């Protein structure tokens, strides 16, 4: 069964249950109302008899039922019994099928009992017990001299709820109206169930089709959710966000494959061309040419190692052995290792390191991070330039800034520096640069230490790489 059929049947069943409950409630209300109406009518008919019995009680000074008084009580009961023909009402032309045309015009005395205040039977003297109280109804008798004094009760057998032709016609009219109303409500419920199921299923079907397209790799088609402000509209917007995220991820994957294949193919092509030239005798087989081939192979090896390390970082396979580290000493050690390289490249290396900046981290990985940052600055900074390192504590964070002089990087390219294999066209190439993965790996290491690595423009005219790491309490 489809979801549309299930939703329609659910709505229809809910409406049917609600309609049935309403029908039963109205049926019970009508029945209770008819019983209350009949009881009130019966009490109204008995008012003359109740007043006469109150006068009789006052006259004989209590229920003193001597033989004389008993005969007078009998005459009183017979003369004051309500006569149904006293109620003036036209007889309907078509009484209902359940109309009791043979109903007696007077209440028979066998269906009547006179009780004292304690509900003990006074008349008839040998009255039958009335154990089934549901078939009897009692009306109070009050003294006429003191209307607040309860002196006895009249017990009568209940009359049928409907004992007049016009009452039967009215009751049947109510029943007919009730059934017609229930039928109308049921039809209306079916129409509303159909409309509601279509209203909810149309966007659900659209969302299902869109998700199916996403599963097949279509990241271009958007969900037409319109201006809906309900949960379905929010779901449509979330699916659109998912589509954009998947499209971005797919483009990044394709770009990553293309860049990786290009980076791997280039050194292989160069090494192959040099070897084939030496095989054909175009180039002599000497140490210089063999060293050139060896350099390309080393470049390819470094690229493969960087790719492997980056892949392991992305899937969480890199292991970190963290301890309390004096990051100031780590930075000073990096300065000492790179000062000779800076001088050989014609660069001036300046450092300002605050002492005893303690962090929690892996010393080997952080040394790798610093090595990648220095390698990036030393390779891309023009000769006679400056590389400056500054380390300080700021608001419970260790903040390291590594700045260099020209050439700089445009604002549009700053966020791209940490992308895989990205190089700035005018200043970064294979002869001066590395694999293009150094900053990417450095950013992964910073994130693994709950830190952040950002690129800014430097006041020296080049690039400013800023590293922030959380500090810990100084260690003894």
DSSP labels for 140-159? EEE-SSSTT-EEEEEEEEPP
Report the pLDDT value the prediction gives residue 394, as an integer from 0 to 100.
87
Q: Largest alpha-carbon pair distance within the chain?
A: 159
Q: Count of CB atoms within 10 A of residue 380's CB?
A: 21
All domains of the chain, ordered by start, with CATH?
39-170 (no CATH), 231-314 (1.10.287.130), 323-470 (3.30.565.10)
| Per-residue pLDDT tens listing for the chain (476 residues) | 555 566 667 766 776 777 677 767 766 776 666 667 767 777 777 888 888 888 888 888 888 777 787 788 888 877 777 654 444 444 444 444 444 444 443 445 667 788 888 888 887 765 555 555 667 888 888 888 888 888 888 887 776 655 555 566 766 777 788 778 778 877 887 787 777 777 777 777 777 888 888 888 777 777 665 566 777 778 878 888 888 888 877 877 777 777 677 667 777 888 888 888 888 888 888 888 888 888 888 877 877 877 777 676 665 656 788 999 999 999 999 999 999 999 999 999 999 999 999 999 999 889 989 988 998 899 889 999 999 999 999 888 999 999 999 898 888 888 888 876 666 654 444 444 456 678 888 898 899 899 999 999 999 999 999 999 999 988 76
Helix (H) or strand (E) holding 454: strand 452-457
Those residues whose C-beta lies under 8 Å from the C-beta of residue 113, and which sit 6 or more positions away, are 121, 123, 124, 127, 130, 154, 155, 156
Report the pLDDT value the prediction gives residue 90, as an integer from 0 to 100.
47
Q: Using CA atoms, how far apart are residues 118 and 130, in angstroms rounded to an integer?
A: 15
Q: Is the peptide bond before 10 cis (omega within 30 degrees of 0)?
A: no
- pTM of the full predicted structure? 0.49
Report the pLDDT value the prediction gives residue 7, as an integer from 0 to 100.
63
Helix (H, G, I), strand (E, B) or coil at 311: helix
List Cα–Cα distances, 172 to 37, 90, 93, 96, 337, in angstroms.
16, 17, 14, 7, 107
Among all chains, which residue has been given the structure tokens 């929010």? 234
Report the pLDDT value the prediction gives residue 227, as an integer from 0 to 100.
65
Contact call for residues 151 and 119 (beta carbons, < 8 A): no
Least Cα distance to 266 among 461, 371, 423 occurs for 423
Report the pLDDT value the prediction gives residue 167, as an integer from 0 to 100.
60
Q: Using CA atoms, how far apart are residues 311 and 318, in angstroms rounded to an integer?
A: 9
Report the pLDDT value the prediction gives residue 55, as an integer from 0 to 100.
86
Q: Using CA atoms, how far apart are residues 77 and 110, in angstroms rounded to an integer?
A: 12
Least Cα distance to 391 among 457, 447, 344, 325 occurs for 325
Strand order in the sheet with 397-405: 348-353, 386-393, 397-405, 461-470, 452-457
CB neighbour class for 125 (10 Å; exposed up to 12, middle 13-18, buried from 19)? exposed
């Amino acid at each position: 069964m489809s979801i549309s059929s299930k939703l329609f049947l659910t709505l229809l069943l809910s409406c049917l249950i609600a309609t049935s409950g309403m029908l039963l409630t109205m049926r019970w209300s009508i029945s209770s109302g008819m019983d209350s109406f009949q009881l009130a009518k019966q009490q109204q008919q008995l008012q003359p008899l109740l007043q006469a019995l109150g006068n009789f009680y006052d006259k004989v000074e209590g229920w003193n039922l001597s033989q004389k008084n008993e005969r007078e009580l009998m005459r009183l009961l017979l003369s004051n019994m309500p006569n149904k023909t006293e109620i003036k009402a036209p007889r309907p032309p078509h009484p209902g099928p359940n109309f009791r045309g043979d109903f007696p015009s007077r209440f028979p005395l066998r269906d009547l009992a006179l009780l004292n205040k304690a509900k003990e039977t006074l008349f008839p003297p040998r009255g039958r017990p009335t154990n089934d109280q549901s078939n009897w109804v009692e009306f109070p008798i009050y003294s006429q001299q003191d209307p607040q004094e309860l002196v006895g009760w009249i017990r009568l057998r209940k009359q049928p709820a409907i004992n007049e032709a016009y009452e039967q016609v009215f009751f049947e009219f109510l029943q007919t109206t009730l059934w017609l109303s229930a039928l109308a409500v049921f039809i209306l419920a079916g129409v509303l169930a159909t409309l509601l199921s279509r209203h909810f299923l149309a966007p659900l079907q659209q969302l299902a089709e869109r998700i199916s397209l996403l599963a097949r790799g279509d990241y271009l088609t958007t969900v037409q959710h319109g201006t809906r402000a309900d949960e379905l509209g929010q779901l449509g917007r979330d699916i659109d966000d998912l589509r954009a995220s998947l499209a971005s991820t797919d483009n990044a994957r394709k770009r990553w494959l293309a860049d990786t294949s290009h980076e791997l193919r280039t050194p292989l092509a160069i090494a192959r061309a040099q070897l084939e030239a030496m095989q054909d005798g175009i180039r002599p087989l000497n140490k210089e040419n063999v060293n050139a081939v060896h350099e390309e192979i080393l470049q390819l090896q470094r690229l493969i190692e960087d790719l492997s390390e980056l892949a392991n970082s992305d899937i969480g396979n890199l292991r970190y052995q963290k301890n309390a580290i004096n990051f100031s000493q780590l930075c000073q050690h990096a300065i000492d290792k790179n000062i000779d390289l800076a001088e050989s490249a014609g660069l001036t290396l300046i450092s300002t390191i605050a002492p005893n900046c303690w962090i929690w981290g892996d010393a080997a990985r952080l040394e790798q991070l610093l090595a990648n940052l220095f390698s990036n600055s030393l390779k891309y900074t023009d000769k006679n330039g400056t590389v400056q390192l500054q380390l300080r504590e700021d608001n419970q964070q260790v903040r390291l800034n590594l700045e260099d002089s020209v050439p700089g990087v445009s604002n549009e390219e700053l966020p791209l520096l940490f992308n895989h294999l990205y190089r700035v066209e005018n200043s970064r190439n294979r002869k001066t640069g590395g694999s293009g993965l150094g900053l990417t790996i450095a950013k992964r290491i910073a994130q693994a230490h709950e830190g952040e690595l950002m690129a800014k423009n430097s006041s020296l005219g080049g690039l400013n790489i800023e590293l922030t790491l959380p500090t810990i309490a100084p260690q003894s």
